[in-house]
A = this chain, B = another copy of it.
Amino acid sequence: MRLSKFFLPVLKEDPAEAQIVSHKFMLRAGMIDQTSAGIYIWLPLGLRVLEKIDRIVCEEQDRAGSSKLMMPTLQDADIWRQSGRYDSYGDLMLKIKDRHDRDMLYGPTNEEQITKMVADHVKSYRDLPFMVYQIQHKFRDEIRPRFGVMRGREFYMKDGYSADIDHENAKQAYYKMFASYMRTFARLGVKAIPMRADSGDMGGDLSHEFVMLADTGESEVFLHKDWMDVDPLIEDIDYDKNLEPLFDKWTSIYAATDEIHDPKNCPVPEAEIIQSRGIEIGHVFNFGTKYSEPMGATVTGPDGKEVSVHMGSYGIGVSRLVAAIIEASHDDAGIIWPEQVAPFHVVLVNLNMADENCAKTAADMYQKLQAAGVEVLYDDRDERAGVKLGTADLIGVPWQVVIGPRGLEKGFVELKHRATNKREEISPDVALNKFTAAQKQAA
């Protein structure tokens, strides 16, 4: 992508409204643009990161055996009246009337919509179990939206649902999703700690939050100090097996949110507990028959009797994850993207567009990197060298190739690794080969 044709409105000044670093850098790097309180356009650079996360989440959902679907954003109010949540959900829910004065709402979540689908289409125990998921816009009318996409009103979330014949099978679905979340977050390079959590408005008896520790997080959490030494690990998982042992292993070290944590009845001595702040990036619930009973989602069991379907729901805050990753990975100059979610793999910084040698070398490298399938951004703007180097650091692309007249005279470009700040002078061909060889290996 040539930067001159890419819509990247970089801000020179820190925006006054940004209280946390991820919000500041997302605005400054031209990743998002606010249109109303808590509502944002995902600009091209931001969307590239969002789509990388999206893809990893989908791959892991598919691997766990969940089928992707796409629900509408607007729902009929009647199904929420059936479940009893239409009034209890409160002003967080955006209520709407259509032209025929029919009550509708912008879905804050989809338990009702899925339970209705089950009630309409699933008749026999032989149609169970199944798991479905989507990544879709939600709306929650936060009274004070803040921290950018961390607590927005319209947000982009993965929500998934499981349907089973009984509690034992529903627990297995819960473990599958739990395992897929551990893999998903590890692949994203995020250390997510599963914590016993309150089911809140969802109902049910089994619930965990996945929390990334961060000083700017809005959740208060309590965990055993051993969690500090645990690194995220991508495990191979056989989803056809009973995953309870894995689940037991992952939950063997104490961790709980403040709604659940009770110092008086905590199994861990107080001295071993760390109190911290964290960002909730995922949440899994087993809520049994809480929705299927009032909404009539029953199936005929093997014995011919009608039974209510046992269900669970599973969420990942996809847009919030973009901000959470920045909170965990940045320096004073800007964002430092982990390779797997970076918007581009390499940025070519041409320090002097007027210099013929620079222009030729940069254009040649750009063309060859593109042809090799390397995700490359070419900063071909007519800007000062300092501005371009600043942009490259700000947007946090893992590798920078800096092309300047003085280096080229000696036959060199400068290769800079954003995360370590390590620089080396190498020939354009060696630089090219480094990226195209890595690309071949990845493909």
**Hey, which bits of chain A sit against chain B, CB under 8 A?**
1, 5-7, 9, 33, 35-36, 39-44, 47, 50, 65, 67-76, 91, 94, 96, 98-99, 102, 104, 106, 113, 116-117, 120-122, 126, 129-130, 132, 137, 139, 141, 143, 153-154, 156, 382
Q: Let me know if B96 and A94 touch, CB within 8 A.
A: yes
A132 partner, pick from B7, B39, B120, beta carbons under 8 A = B7
Q: Let me know if B113 and A73 touch, CB within 8 A.
A: no
Interface of chain A, helix or strand or loop or mixed?
A: mixed
Q: Let me know if B130 and A65 touch, CB within 8 A.
A: no
Given contacts A5-B67, A65-B5, A74-B106, contact A35 B94 (CB under 8 A): no
Give Cα A273–Cα B180 distance, bound, in whole angstroms: 60
16 further interface pairs, Cβ-Cβ under 8 Å (given A42-B69, A43-B69): A7-B69, A9-B121, A33-B117, A33-B121, A35-B113, A35-B116, A36-B76, A41-B69, A44-B132, A47-B69, A50-B70, A72-B154, A73-B73, A98-B141, A99-B143, A126-B382
Q: Let me know if B41 and A117 touch, CB within 8 A.
A: yes
Which of A68, A69, A76 has the largest number of chain B CB atoms within 10 A? A69
Identify the closest chain B residue to A121 (Cβ): B9
Residues of B with C-beta under 8 A to A33? 117, 120-121
Q: Let me know if A67 and B6 touch, CB within 8 A.
A: yes
Question: A145 to nearest B CB, angstroms?
Answer: 11
Question: A28 to nearest B CB, angstroms?
Answer: 13
Please tell me how many copies of the chain the complex holds: 2
Residues of B with C-beta under 8 A to A41? 69-72, 113, 117
Identify the closest chain B residue to A127 (Cβ): B9
25 contacts between A and B (CB under 8 A): A5-B65, A5-B129, A7-B67, A7-B130, A9-B122, A35-B71, A35-B76, A35-B113, A35-B116, A36-B104, A39-B72, A40-B72, A41-B69, A41-B117, A42-B69, A42-B71, A44-B67, A44-B68, A50-B70, A72-B154, A74-B139, A74-B153, A94-B96, A94-B98, A98-B141
Identify the closest chain B residue to A113 (Cβ): B35
Q: Let me know if B7 and A141 touch, CB within 8 A.
A: no
Residues of B with C-beta under 8 A to A6? 67, 130
Given contacts A44-B132, A121-B33, contact A154 B74 (CB under 8 A): yes
Give Cα A69–Cα B43 distance, bound, in whole angstroms: 5
